[in-house]
Structure 1
Amino acid sequence: MIETQARVIRLESGHAWVEPRPHTPCGQCDPVHGCRSLAIARMFSPNGPAFRVKNPLDAAVGDWVTVSVPERGMLHSALLMYLVPLIGLFVGAAAGALASETVSVLAGLAGFAAALVAVRRVSRGFGQRPLFQPVITERVDALALISERPCRSKS
């Protein structure tokens, strides 16, 4: 299971909206601009990093919890998102290469676009399957979160 700590910010029937705990700096980030991956994540979630999870423990608003996602679900998602469009690009380019270089480029782009559409259609049903649903697995003591030491870079 892949796990992270989060704070419950809103409740829905059987689900909770949680906000992940901000990570501590580990010394690997750019000292001027900060963590690049965090900046990219903020770009794609302008309303905040909150997400919906199953709440079998009936956690309340303000509770700190551990949210878990099965590793297998993450692996399937990553393979689908990265591998399928790449295969579409290569298959389209290879098929177009029989005609000319220009047709190869255009067919590669068409194959890539078709693969993205296919990924979108296939992934629509993922949210309802348990393999892909994040779930609250335990409540966490807020004092334990405060006392954790930030990671240090090895110099």
Structure 2
Amino acid sequence: MISERGRVVAEKGDQVWVQTIRETACQSCSARQGCGQRALASVTSGRANQILVENHLNARVGDEVTVSISESALLHASLWVYAVPLSALVTGAVLGQQLAPGSDSLAIVLASLGLGLGFWLVSRHQRTASSRFQPRLQGIENLP
């Protein structure tokens, strides 16, 4: 499980908005010099991120909570978001080159259509499997 601590900043029905700041984890990481996450945190100046999670623990505004997502769900979602559109783009470009050798225009058109199809497939898959990829509240931290 990949976990992050945050604070509940708002309630929305059966869900809560949790605010997290990733920059704190970068200070203790041994790979901080070559990490893209650290570069991203420095660009955003440690700006807080907010995520909407189901509130099955009855957390209230101001509570410190732990939010987590499984590694397999993150990997699966990453593959869908990156690999599916890229594969569809490459397939469209190769198909365009096969149908009209020497003409790049058909390859460009089919690559664009493939990319659009890939994004559409990701969007459709996200709607049907969204609960599997959602972070979950793991616990409420005891505050002194």
TM value normalised by structure 2: 0.77
Matches within 5 A, 1:88-107: 88-98=88-98, 99=100, 100-107=103-110
Letter in 2 for 1:140: E
Question: Which structure 2 segments of 5+ residues have no match?
Answer: none
Matches within 5 A, 1:24-103: 24=24, 26=27, 28=33, 35-38=38-41, 49-98=49-98, 99=100, 100-103=103-106
C-alpha change, 1:109 and 1:125, in structure 2 (3 Å) is same
Q: How big is the shift at 1:68?
A: 1.0
Secondary structure of 2:73 counterpart: helix
Matches within 5 A, 1:97-136: 97-98=97-98, 99=100, 100-127=103-130, 129=131, 131-136=132-137
How many residues align? The count is 133
Secondary structure of 1:61 counterpart: coil
Question: Which structure 1 segments of 5+ residues have no match?
Answer: 30-34, 144-155
Higher helix proportion? 2
Percent identity over the alignment is 30
Instruction: Give me the CA root mean square deviation.
Output: 2.6
TM value normalised by structure 1: 0.72
Secondary structure of 2:23 counterpart: coil
Secondary structure of 1:136 counterpart: strand
Secondary structure of 2:53 counterpart: strand
| Paired position in structure 2 for 1:14 | 14
Q: Distance in 2 between matches of 1:85 and 1:41?
A: 27
